[in-house]
């Protein structure tokens, strides 16, 4: 009977350890997913908002090792408001507004009139394109075909001019 109790105790301890391991793995994957999602949101903001892109470039002039989405976060409350640094997790002090404004003046002017900028503003997000490509590789091509048609319409809407070639 003592062996049976010892065996049952060992199994219970093993099961508790297994449950704890599963909870830890789940927690880590969840936080990793949230971190990845936050980084993708930041990159989408910078890709679609020219002022946010300039701010990100200014931050990189001041702190070349800082990474968007992990070391700092840009927030833009509305389409009218200027973007700003909402979080600063990088080493060292957070750049001041005057330092960022000075760095922004050193960032080369972004081409907002060229066909590439106009297309980029209307293209489906990278996340949507990757999701559609994944589904297409699995045989569900409808979403990929829809995105391809949309991209083709955007390319037709904003063709390359002679000076762009």
Interval 30-70: pLDDT, tens: 888 888 888 888 888 888 888 888 899 899 889 888 899 88
Helix (H, G, I), strand (E, B) or coil at 87: strand
Whether residues 103 and 127 share a domain: the answer is no
Tens of pLDDT, residues 122-159: 899 999 999 999 999 999 999 999 999 999 998 888 88
Structure tokens of 17?
């350890």
Whether residues 100 and 120 share a domain: the answer is no
The number of angstroms, rounded, from the C-alpha of 50 to the middle of its chain's C-alpha atoms is 16
Helix (H, G, I), strand (E, B) or coil at 72: strand
Domain around 97: 1-110
Q: Which residue has the higher pLDDT, 1 or 100?
A: 100
State the pLDDT at residue 165: 46
Q: Give the single-character DSSP code of 139.
A: T
Mean pLDDT (whole number) for 97-113: 76
Rounded percentage of the chain residues whose pLDDT exceeds 70: 90
- Pick from 86, 110, 134: which residue ends a domain? 110
State the pLDDT at residue 2: 59
Question: pLDDT band at residue 109, thresholds of 50, 70 and 90?
Answer: low
Whether residues 88 and 72 share a domain: the answer is yes
Q: Give the single-character DSSP code of 164.
A: G
State the pLDDT at residue 163: 54
State the pLDDT at residue 145: 95
Beta bridge partners of 96: none
Whether residues 135 and 95 share a domain: the answer is no
Of 82, 76, 75, nearest to 104 by C-alpha is: 82
Task: Check if the beta carbon of residue 97 is closer than 8 Å to that of residue 59.
Answer: no
Task: Check if the beta carbon of residue 55 is closer than 8 Å to that of residue 100.
Answer: yes
């Amino acid at each position: 009977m003592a062996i049976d109790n010892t065996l049952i105790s060992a199994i219970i301890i093993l099961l508790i350890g297994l449950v704890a391991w599963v909870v830890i793995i789940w927690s880590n994957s969840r936080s990793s997913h949230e971190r990845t999602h936050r980084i993708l949101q930041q990159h989408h903001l910078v890709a679609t908002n020219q002022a946010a892109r300039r701010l990100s470039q200014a931050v990189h002039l001041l702190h070349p090792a800082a990474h968007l989405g992990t070391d700092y976060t840009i927030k833009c409350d509305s389409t009218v408001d200027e973007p700003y640094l909402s979080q600063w997790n990088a080493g060292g002090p957070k750049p001041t507004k005057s330092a960022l404004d000075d760095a922004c003046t050193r960032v080369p002017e972004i081409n907002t009139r060229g066909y590439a900028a106009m297309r980029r503003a209307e293209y489906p997000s990278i996340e949507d394109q990757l999701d559609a490509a994944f589904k297409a590789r699995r045989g569900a091509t409808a979403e990929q075909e829809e995105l391809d048609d949309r991209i083709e319409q955007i390319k037709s809407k904003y063709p390359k001019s002679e000076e762009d070639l």
